[in-house]
Amino acid sequence: MRVNRRTFMQGTAATAAAGMFSSSAVAEEPINVASIHDLSGGLDIYGKPMVDAMTLAIEEANAAGGLLGRPLKLINYDTQSNMQLYTQFAQQAALKDKVAVVHGGITSASREVIRPVLDKFKTLYFYNTQYEGGVCDRNQFDTGVTPAQTVEKLVPYAMKKWGKKVYVIAADYNYGQITSQWVKKYVIENGGEVPAIDFFPLDVTNFGPTISKIQAAKPDFVWSALVGGAHISFYRQWAAAGMRKSIPMASTTFAVGNEHIVLSPDECNGMLICYNYFQDLKNPVNEKFVASFLKRFGADYPNITELAMGTYQGFRLWAEAVKKAGSIDRMKVIEALETGISIDAPSGKVTIDPPTHHCVLDVHIAEVADKKLKVLEDFAQQKPADTAAVCDLIKNPTDNQQYVIKI
Amino acid sequence: MDLVALLAIQVLYAIASLALISVGLAIIFGMMRVINLAHGEFLMLGGYAAIVATSHGISIWIAMLVVAPIVVGLIGVIVERTIIRFLYGRMIDTMLATWGLSLFLVGLTTAIFGNTTVGISAPLGSFQIGAYRTSVYTLFVIAVAAVVLAAIFALIRWTRLGLIARGTMQNANMAAALGVNPPRVYAVTFGAGAALSGLAGAVLAPVSGVFPTIGVAYVAKSFITVIGGGAAILSGTVSASALFGTINQIATFVTTPVFGEVALLAAAIILIRLLPQGITGRFFRRGL
């Protein structure tokens, strides 16, 4: 038989078509779910618990029969705290592994690296980290808390407790830059002042001059939005200089990477934080979740973090939407999520806010106490008001940018 | 006034820590013209040695001042005997080999300890200067640097070992002709340089924590200090540390840590442009 271009094309087309039919005929072909997190490098303190939570969520879903009668397959990509790998793995997930959804990204910088990639290749994206807010993109859902949900609560609480003069120190990239502006905004709205905001690249470990500067400014308390392993040395040096007892501290990032366990109680007791989830929350859903988490990963698991819970809840929301849509098609799942889907999560009720693609959820203020996080006050069902002020994806579905507040 | 005193301590501390992290490199580079790109990893290993020893119940002082230098010194001797000694006089090859060694050590420690930051709390508490507080540990680091530099000076200046080392450094062939065994001098010197790096890494561990890739943060600064200092080991290290430490710390205090680093690097570039042989290429030429 002579093979020319035409017969060859017909042949391959037939094979491809057969392949397509056979894949829909075999219903058990797994649904690929991508998890793109830093499992090594300076940000692994955040990434590891997130992937553990994802693993548990997928195993639970598979034990319950999978989704749409198909099992789920988790594909982990370790980005090694390296931004270039984010681009590479996002492309690989979308094009080669053809995943139904990508969960991932830790720092805001990494999110902004993979967001355009996943937009371009039309792959649904869940960003599950608490962040500075303002992302408005129909392809993306954000299950973490934003400043209007946490900073807005913690600033007045801390100011009432300690005083009105707040010195802000933050990591030097978009998260720290924007979050510190939110802190300043809420401090001023509550009648306080911010004498200075200092930014630190992620690899800075010598905070001596800064500690002197803070002392010279004499604030009532310090607000930390420091990020990553190297910045932990700030808390050590702060305590070593004897400052912990004279100037207290509040933070939007502390304990997210289990810093309260790495440091000794003497270095961080009394610090105030505000998040969506704490392992000690008292409700039946959480007690069941903690029990199965510890059963899966060992009773000595240090702490189930805010980011781990964000990831768990992000996956659950997606799975709920897939069930509702009866499909893993991207647009159908987005539309199902935009009906304002809601789950009973370990942190309480979590609902997608359709215009912003962020979440309405409970937040809690807690205090670091001897390697534990003691919940002090609860705030039910907080809306993502910061993003809502600028973003409405129902009215402008083609909007695609991160808004930055102006002060 | 109190603030000036506090700043002075911070500046001294910056100088001391620069001198500590550079002196091991300066010895290895000054004596053997070996560019040791695994220098940062020697510091990192010193940090881990101290932390592991402390967690096994050894007093933090013994862990830092005794265990860490011995452990890293031994590693240095092993490295010299197995890798470096075949490469003397081949500068590019030693760079390649030590770079490989650096990657290997990072990989090895990551495999053993995981890629997370570990640390020990700084001992000694804090003290008051007027309205300000700072940690006593800062003073301890300054003292360690002073003692180390004084000890090196005494060793090189007044002992027979120092004389042999200086002779070998000036002219290895002539020293050999006079009955000195240069390979042995090199091994001892490399071990001593590594031990000092281990000591520095251990002493700084409570301040900055330790993680497998922390060497990167140290290695650039120590190279800049050594190159800026020039040929003389001691006076070069001290003068370059004093210059760069002061600039870095004051710029950091006045502006931000980012500009502090920028100021340090800018100063280094200008210095090398004006004094290509380093500070001791023009000043303190007769220094050690």
B171-181 pLDDT tens trace: 888 888 888 88
Question: How far out from the chain centre does Cα B231 lie?
Answer: 16
Tell me the residues of chain A between 141 and 170 that have a Cβ less than 8 Å away from chain B. none
d(CA A90, CA A97): 10
Q: Taking the C-alpha atoms of B127, B129, B130 and B131 in order, what is their torsion angle to the nearest 10 degrees?
A: -70
Average pLDDT, stretch B9-36? 88
Q: What's the mean pLDDT when you consider all of chain A?
A: 87
Give the domain-ending residue among A229, A251, A273: A251
Average pLDDT, stretch A226-236? 84
Q: Does the pLDDT at position A13 exceed 70?
A: no
Average pLDDT, stretch A220-242? 86
End-to-end CA distance of chain A: 75
Best A167, A215, A231, A266 residue to mutate vs chain B (most B CBs within 10 Å): A215
Residue labelled with tokens 């140290």? B218
- Whether A128 and A162 map to the same domain: the answer is no
Which residue range(s) make up the domain with A171? 151-251
Nearest CA in chain B to A237: B207
**Residue B261 distance to chain A (closest CA, Å):** 10
Q: Tell me whether residue A289 is in a domain.
A: yes
Inspect the interface and report whether the beta carbons of A199 and B252 lie closer than 8 Å: no
State the pLDDT at residue B59.
86
Q: Does the pLDDT at position A9 exceed 80?
A: no
Residue B42's alpha-carbon distances to A222, A233, A315, B47, B227, in angstroms, are 35, 20, 43, 9, 19
* Number of domain units in chain A: 2
B110-156 pLDDT tens trace: 888 877 777 777 777 777 777 777 788 888 999 999 999 999 999 88
Residue B286: band (very low, low, confident or very high) from pLDDT cuts 50, 70, 90? low
- Whether A288 and A396 map to the same domain: the answer is yes
Give the domain-ending residue among A204, A233, A251: A251
Q: Tell me whether residue A274 is in a domain.
A: no
Domains and CATH numbers, chain B: 2-282 (1.10.3470)
* CA torsion through residues A148, A149, A155, A156, sign: positive
Q: Which helix (H) or strand (E) is B279 found in, with range?
A: helix B279-282
Is the Cβ–Cβ distance between B227 and B277 less than 8 Å?
Answer: no
d(CA B56, CA B68): 14
Q: Does the pLDDT at position A4 exceed 70?
A: no
Q: Tell me whether residue A166 is in a domain.
A: yes
Q: Does the pLDDT at position A240 exceed 90?
A: no
Give the domain-ending residue among A234, A251, A268: A251
- Whether A133 and A157 map to the same domain: the answer is no
d(CA B70, CA B196): 9
Is the Cβ–Cβ distance between A79 and A89 less than 8 Å?
Answer: yes
Nearest CA in chain A to B1: A216
d(CA A243, CA A263): 15
- Whether A66 and A110 map to the same domain: the answer is yes
Tokens of A256: 């997210």
d(CA A303, CA B236): 49
Task: Select the residue of B137, B216, B257 nearest A204 (Cβ to Cβ).
Answer: B257
Residue burial A75-98, b: 16+ Cβ < 10 Å; e: rest: bbbbbbbeeebbeebbbbbbeeee
Inspect the interface and report whether the beta carbons of A208 and B206 lie closer than 8 Å: no
State the pLDDT at residue A22.
44
Main-chain dihedrals φ then ψ at residue B170, nearest 5 degrees: -75, -45
- Whether A331 and A308 map to the same domain: the answer is yes
Name all contacts of B150-156 with Cβ < 8 Å and 24+ positions apart. B152/B23, B152/B27, B152/B196, B152/B233, B152/B234, B153/B234, B153/B288, B156/B233, B156/B234, B156/B288
d(CA B126, CA A340): 54
Q: Does the pLDDT at position A24 exceed 60?
A: no
Q: Tell me whether residue A171 is in a domain.
A: yes
Question: How far out from the chain centre does Cα A276 lie?
Answer: 11
Q: Tell me whether residue A338 is in a domain.
A: yes
| CATH number of domain containing A60 | 3.40.50.2300
Q: Does the pLDDT at position A293 exceed 90?
A: yes
Average pLDDT, stretch A68-74? 91
State the pLDDT at residue B104.
93
Q: Tell me whether residue A335 is in a domain.
A: yes
Is the Cβ–Cβ distance between B222 and B17 less than 8 Å?
Answer: no
Largest CA distance in chain B: 63
Question: How far out from the chain centre does Cα B48 lie?
Answer: 16
A78-112 pLDDT tens trace: 988 888 899 999 999 999 999 999 999 998 889 99
- Whether A135 and A155 map to the same domain: the answer is no
State the pLDDT at residue A20.
47
d(CA A369, CA A269): 5
State the pLDDT at residue A23.
44
Share of chain A above pLDDT 70, in %: 93
**Residue B42 distance to chain A (closest CA, Å):** 18
- Whether A224 and A327 map to the same domain: the answer is no
**Residue B129 distance to chain A (closest CA, Å):** 11
A407 touches chain B (CB under 8 A): no
Interstrand relation of B126-129 and B132-135 (parallel, antiparallel or unpaired): antiparallel
State the pLDDT at residue A167.
94
Q: Tell me whether residue A313 is in a domain.
A: yes
Tokens of B117: 């930051």
Residue A380: band (very low, low, confident or very high) from pLDDT cuts 50, 70, 90? confident
**Residue B228 distance to chain A (closest CA, Å):** 22
Task: Select the residue of A42, A203, A266 nearest B121 (Cβ to Cβ).
Answer: A266
State the pLDDT at residue B229.
86
B233-263 pLDDT tens trace: 888 889 999 999 999 888 888 887 788 888 9
Share of chain B above pLDDT 90, in %: 30
Q: Tell me whether residue A54 is in a domain.
A: yes
- Whether A175 and A102 map to the same domain: the answer is no
A97 touches chain B (CB under 8 A): no
- Whether A156 and A109 map to the same domain: the answer is no
Main-chain dihedrals φ then ψ at residue A3, nearest 5 degrees: -100, 110
A242 touches chain B (CB under 8 A): yes
Q: Does the pLDDT at position A263 exceed 50?
A: yes
- Whether A313 and A289 map to the same domain: the answer is yes
A135-167 pLDDT tens trace: 999 999 999 999 889 988 899 999 999 999 999
- Whether A134 and A159 map to the same domain: the answer is no
State the pLDDT at residue B133.
77
- Whether A141 and A173 map to the same domain: the answer is no
Task: Select the residue of B3, B13, B208 nearest A216 (Cβ to Cβ).
Answer: B3
Share of chain B above pLDDT 70, in %: 98
